[in-house]
Amino acid sequence: MIELKDVEKSFGDKTIIKGVSMKLDAGKCNLIIGSSGSGKTVLTKCIVGLFTPEKGEILFEGRDIVSMEKNDRKELRQQIGMLFQGSALFDSMTVEQNIMFPLDMFSKLTNAEKHKRVDEVLARVNLEDAHKKYPSEISGGMKKRVGIARAIVLNPKYLFCDEPNSGLDPQTSLLIDKLIKEITVEYNMTTIVITHDMNSVMEIGDHIIYMYEGHKQWEGSNKEIIYSKDEKLNNFIFASEFLQDAKKMRMEENEAKNQTQ
């Protein structure tokens, strides 16, 4: 679990994160959503220790990364897996070499043990035959799965995913969402997903935080978001007339159901 307590972050005289508190539980997909400039990316960088907030605590299982000693922070970061927006694979390396890179950097495993671990995570993302392929030889969806395999190869406790469905077609996006959800539950990881994809919100949003102008505007689950009366959230989620009509219809159905009970 990760817990934030009254976190604030500024650049110069401009406050970007304004007193944000939240709990991000293990075994759940915690989604952070919001429009560009809402503060979600800065908040995420504070959580992983890339930015230091001026105020507040960021607790990993009760340990504050903000006040943590340098060596302890380095150790903690090795428990964090990252899935980057563009997958961030090395073009000159094969799939196998890309996934092995964190093992070479941070583990003391033997070469045989590293290869075994690579085999395990590639099997987990259903890419058993992709070891010797280069990123240019695989599809966008496969690159995302390689990125996930690399993110979990060190058995992290925490998984951060930055726009995991960026550039993917709807069907492939659903497959990536399903994989992230399965891995989160299977390994009981604390997973944080930064996304604009409303399909992801509805499919895997166990816990959703909506950021607005630097503060936490709304918090709830994918089952609750459809019935939210928060005007700012609704304007963000249901931006089109089609989605507004769908929400209205769902709420009317829910009211009718409650009246008959």
5: its two tokens: 């307590």
Average pLDDT score over residue span 132-142: 95
DSSP 97-112: HHHHHHHHHH----HH
- The answer, yes or no, to whether residue 129 has pLDDT greater than 70, is yes
Please state the pTM of the whole predicted model: 0.89
Each residue of 88-105: pLDDT tens digit? 899 999 999 999 999 999
- The answer, yes or no, to whether residue 116 has pLDDT greater than 90, is yes
- The answer, yes or no, to whether residue 1 has pLDDT greater than 90, is yes
Which amino acid, residue 106?
Answer: F
Cα(first)–Cα(last) distance of the chain, in Å? 38
State how beta strands 158-162 and 80-83 pair: parallel
The pLDDT of residue 261: 66
For 19, 103, 134, 137, the CA distances from 142, given in Å and listed in that order, are 39, 21, 11, 10
Provide the sign of the torsion angle of the four alpha carbons 119, 122, 127, 130, taken in this order: negative
Tell me which of 8-12, 48-52, 165-169, 246-250 is least confident. 246-250
Instruction: Please state which architecture CATH assigns to domain 1-79+156-225.
Output: 3-Layer(aba) Sandwich (3.40)
Each residue of 65-87: pLDDT tens digit? 999 998 999 899 999 999 988 78
Cα–Cα distance, 208 to 219 (Å, whole number): 6
Each residue of 201-250: pLDDT tens digit? 999 999 999 999 999 999 999 999 988 889 999 888 876 665 666 666 76
Q: What is the mean pLDDT of the chain?
A: 92
Contacts of 211 (CB under 8 A, 6+ apart): 20, 32, 33, 34, 38, 39, 40, 43, 217
Domain ranges in the chain?
A: 1-79+156-225, 95-155, 230-261
Q: Between 261 and 41, whose confidence is greater?
A: 41
What share of the chain has pLDDT > 90, as a percent?
80
- The answer, yes or no, to whether residue 256 has pLDDT greater than 80, is no
- The answer, yes or no, to whether residue 197 has pLDDT greater than 90, is no
